Amino acid sequence: MQLLEKEDIQGLIVRGYSNFPEASFVLCGITNPAKAKKYFARLAERITPASQKPDKRAIHIAFSNEGIKLLNLSSSAYATFSRQFKEGMTEKNRQLVLGDIEYNAPEHWEWGGTRSEQIHFILMIYAKDKTVLNLVMEGEKNNFDQTGIKEIKTLDSFALPEQKEHFGFRDGISQPNIEELGKDNNAPEWNVLPSGEFILGYKNVYDQYPESPFVSRNEDPENLLPASTLYDKKKDLGRNGSYLIFRQLSQDVHAFWKYLMENSNEKDDPTEAAICLGAKMVGRWPDGTPLIKSPDEPNDKFTTDNQFGYWKEDFHGLKCPVGSHIRRSNPRDWLLTEKTHEESMQMIRKHRILRRGRAYGLPMTDTLDPEKIMKAENDTEARGLHFICFSGDIIRQFEFIQNAWIRFPKFGGLYDDSDPLIGTHYQKNGIKTDAFTVPAEPVRRRYKNLPEFTTLRGGGYFFFPGIRALRYLASLPNPS
Amino acid sequence: MTTTHNGLAISARIKEGHHEALIKTLSQINDQGAAHNEIYSFGDSKTTHFATLAILPEERTLSGKSLPSRFLFLTSYTGDRKKHVRELAENNPEGLAEIFKHCEGFPSTITPGSIYRYMRKYTTINTFYTGFQYVTYEDVGKEYELREAIENYLDEACNEPGFKNKSALEIRKSIQDVVKSDPGLSWSTKPYKRSLRSYLKLLGPLYILGVILGVSLICCVLVFFWANVFTWIGTMIFLSFVGILVVPLVLLRINESRPFESVAKPTDKRIYDIVSREKYPIKNEMTVAGPLKRGWIRPVFLFIILRLVWFVRAFAYIPTVHTARWFQVDGGKRIVFIAYFDNTSEAYAHDFVDSDKRIRNLNLIFGNGHGFPPTKWAVIGGGRDREKYITAVRAQQKITNVWYYTHCHVGILNINNNRAIRKGLWGDMSENEARQWLLLF
């Protein structure tokens, strides 16, 4: 088994900091690269490595493609980053691949979009409480002016009660297990993946080292970087790093429950019926119970259950609809295009991501109880999810999931359904993506004209360097 | 009428000095839209599902032999090949002349007949796979409408009191009544029946081959006990068949021990030029073509494999693919692969390398192409090296000048599901069968 260099890996890759309910993501621009690099060099000492389990705060950093360019990395080294990272999330073709069109198109974004100020790096701060968070934030921001850094926007975030997201459903239950961390002996085989899927410089699911950015030996005179595992005479800039994908998704909680209440009638009680339809869209009951384990009602025994598949248990989606959010984002062992559940698993294992998302904005109600949310008045609070994930190969993992499973209206033999929660819902030129089909006996129920329950507010691809790589980037000579 | 789905592949050398002019003509078609444009409108055809017009650039084999610049005119169609070509030629002979006049051997007289003869003459054998068999262009549209009509009825019916308590057979009966009452769907009131001719056209050659092989195998055994001219002939046929498979395989294994010759990694810009053309939300196309690996056995082995795959093509399965085809040009030295698939080429390329079984099948054919990862015994290794495989696909991928598709909003699983709905609409069914049929909606 490969040994992880945890002291060089930024800790966010291996832990989601569930002990730190508060977090802020500071989106920054670099106004003076020479000064900024001095800041990064000092920051490298404060970055929380994976080898530590902090109890007060954690700090992390990730760079956008434009940010990397400003650090004066040679063009030949920059060229070794992944094409998707270099093109950026807002590139025209990427928009189609990701389904970032219509109301989700980058021209409408509040940050990171085609009409927004360029983000060069993102500072991610996690803390055990608001006081610590404010202290750390103050400490960092005080440096900004003198260090050629400009704060463009700060995205706050905090953990919602019972690990829920704003619609009122328990979130973050299903995560792949990194083989080398060996945390969960009960994890099903399909859910255990080699570290190279998420951390550059290690072998991935194909038993190959993933493509990783590198520099030539003479570009690393201080010998800060490890040797490349892929190329002779090259130093690995990517090792112990990853690609971080950030997407800010605002959630229209009122519209979500309003639609459910107005369109669900599978049960006599309208509230129950709305929750039932909501559960069908999510694939779990609000408390986290998977529909596969308990299709008719929530069950306390299964609220964090992740030990299930679809092929044998629910081929036709009678318990958990084929188009439900959890079934699309991780089909586990079921792909209608495959002939067996083993073949489906083989395919799906190649397309996983490590999620580190956090909610933002005040919840509509304190407890996030769906019944109370339904009764609550609509408000103007901005709320949603900062979707954050790691992926060793953006196109094979994140983009594949977003493109082939979330966006594609034909997923699983469907016709006009994209993901009911995070898909872009529209009708144009004969293409429809705003339906949701609930397989049932004797016949299915089809819900049409789904409004946009979530809207993209910003996003970007970032390079999440190893700590040595951060020191290297900070040490790059300034242009004369 | 037969409804077998087949591929037409016309391949002709481009005349000296005509390369740019042909590109210009094809660009005009592409810019105006392949379905309807001022030069040649594929939308006028009633037999065509897909079409690709592509220019293969001049390339060199690994041993330095020149492979000339070549024009490919490819369609996928249902029915009789002659009728299909005649339809294409008669629809607009002048338009086809405008395209083919840049190719060698094109006649000076332009009539539907001369165009037809030219197209037939330059037709090359291709091994064709389809994800939907016996479904005509017209069927795709009509069956989609049938399903939509039933879905719309079910949307309403679901809200009727007591509907949920009906048996599956009762619901099916109510659907039948709805279909019968809609004059626009009268075509679907007759039970679907595939013609025997279509079936035999697809599987007849395989059955004949199977019978020949079966009989010859029996002869091979019988010859030990009852040697006569018939058993000896049978034995020779069987041994020849085994020889055709085994000898090239052994020679290929020897060839496989040569050092691997990689292909230059395509630049980001090149990949972007290719993928940025995949702008269609449901289905897209890819053209991959390139020289074979070094050694005379490669074109021979590939020739044999493509013929064998042709026999068993009805049993092949490639997920998300509408149609795909492989063929050799330039005396077998260059392989061409064209596919129409759901979604993007990145997702599609993974369909091959993410499944162990498909990697083996992929190796048999693509393993012969220059730059594809090395194989052992034709099926081992190869595509398991995902990085090299993806690099080779992108390196050998060509920019398709024009491609045409029909029914832009219908995915491959939709086509087959719609056909299953139609097939199950009439005829006797048990309650359980009706339950299964209703799950198609």
| Portion 249-268 of B in contact with A at CB < 8 A | 268
Over 70: is that where the pLDDT of A183 sits? no
Helix (H) or strand (E) holding B8: strand B5-13
Which chain A residue lies closest to B316 (C-alpha atoms)?
A: A339
A11 contacts A49 by C-beta, under 8 angstroms: yes
Q: Report the pLDDT value the prediction gives residue B318, as an integer from 0 to 100.
A: 87
Q: Report the pLDDT value the prediction gives residue B403, as an integer from 0 to 100.
A: 96
Q: Does B154 touch chain A (CB under 8 A)?
A: yes
Q: Average pLDDT in the A154-167 region?
A: 93
Is beta strand A436-438 parallel, antiparallel or unpaired with respect to A427-428?
Answer: unpaired
Find how far residue B105's CA is from the centre of its chain: 27
Four-residue CA torsion sign, A246, A247, A248, A254: negative
Bridge partners of A247, per DSSP, are A387, A459
Q: Report the pLDDT value the prediction gives residue A293, as an integer from 0 to 100.
A: 97
Distance from CA of A421 to the nearest CA of B (A): 19
E-assigned strands of A69-185?
A: 121-127, 149-158, 177-178
CB-closest option in A265, A410, A432 to B413: A410
Residue with tokens 């946009």: A452
CB contact under 8 A, A442 and B158: no
Distance from CA of A19 to the nearest CA of B (A): 37
> pLDDT confidence of A257, banded at 50, 70, 90?
very high
Q: Report the pLDDT value the prediction gives residue A272, as an integer from 0 to 100.
A: 94
* Residue from B43, B7, B44 nearest B133 by CA: B7
Q: Report the pLDDT value the prediction gives residue A188, as an integer from 0 to 100.
A: 82
CB-closest option in A87, A265, A446 to B155: A446
CB contact under 8 A, A442 and B438: yes
Query: Taking chain B (441 residues) in consecutive chunks of 10 residues, what is each chunk's mean pLDDT?
Result: 94 96 97 97 96 97 96 97 97 97 95 96 96 95 97 94 93 97 94 92 95 96 92 95 96 96 94 91 95 97 96 91 97 97 85 83 94 96 92 94 95 97 96 97 97
Q: pLDDT digit string (tens) for A283-340?
A: 999 999 999 999 999 999 999 999 999 999 999 999 999 999 999 999 999 999 999 9
- Between CA A21 and CA A157 the distance in angstroms is 8
* Residue from A225, A203, A275 nearest A3 by CA: A203
| Portion 237-296 of A in contact with B at CB < 8 A | 265
Q: pLDDT digit string (tens) for A11-54?
A: 999 999 999 999 999 999 999 999 999 999 999 999 999 999 99
Q: Does B190 touch chain A (CB under 8 A)?
A: no
CB contact under 8 A, A336 and B441: no
Helix (H) or strand (E) holding B291: strand B283-291
A-B Cβ pairs (cutoff 8 Å, strict): 114
Q: pLDDT digit string (tens) for B205-251?
A: 999 999 999 999 999 999 999 889 999 999 999 999 999 999 999 99
Q: Does A86 touch chain B (CB under 8 A)?
A: yes
Tell me phi and psi for residue A342, to 5 degrees: -65, -45
Over 90: is that where the pLDDT of A2 sits? no
B54 contacts B285 by C-beta, under 8 angstroms: no
| Portion 31-70 of A in contact with B at CB < 8 A | none
CB contact under 8 A, B154 and A444: yes
Q: Which residues on A lie below 8 Å from B143 (Cβ)?
A: none
CB contact under 8 A, B384 and A339: no
Which chain A residue lies closest to B348 (C-alpha atoms)?
A: A404
Over 80: is that where the pLDDT of A267 sits? no
Q: Which residues on B lie below 8 Å from A415 (Cβ)?
A: 411, 414
* Residue from B300, B265, B432 nearest B378 by CA: B300
CB contact under 8 A, B346 and A338: no
CB contact under 8 A, A93 and B276: yes
B90 contacts B114 by C-beta, under 8 angstroms: no
CB-closest option in B154, B271, B350 to A443: B154
Helix (H) or strand (E) holding B50: strand B48-56
- Between CA B385 and CA A207 the distance in angstroms is 9
Q: Token pair of A19, please? A: 């002990």
- Between CA B161 and CA A213 the distance in angstroms is 63
Q: pLDDT digit string (tens) for A106-135?
A: 999 999 999 999 999 999 999 999 999 999
CB-closest option in B350, B408, B413 to A336: B413
Q: Which residues on A lie below 8 Å from B354 (Cβ)?
A: 346-347, 350
Q: pLDDT digit string (tens) for A375-423?
A: 999 999 999 999 999 999 999 999 999 999 999 999 999 999 999 999 9
Q: Does B157 touch chain A (CB under 8 A)?
A: yes
Q: Which residues on A lie below 8 Å from B319 (Cβ)?
A: 335, 337-338
- Using CA atoms of B127, B131, B133, B135 in order, give the dihedral in degrees to the nearest 10: -130
Q: Estimate the crossing angle of helix B81-91 against helix B93-100, to 10 degrees.
A: 90
Q: Average pLDDT in the A220-249 region?
A: 97
- Between CA B352 and CA A450 the distance in angstroms is 34
Q: Does B269 touch chain A (CB under 8 A)?
A: no
CB contact under 8 A, B411 and A97: no
Residue A30, C-beta contacts closer than 8 angstroms, at least 6 positions apart: A36, A67, A70, A120, A121, A148, A149, A150
CB contact under 8 A, B168 and A448: no
Q: Which residues on A lie below 8 Å from B438 (Cβ)?
A: 441-443
Q: Report the pLDDT value the prediction gives residue A440, as an integer from 0 to 100.
A: 95
CB contact under 8 A, A339 and B317: yes
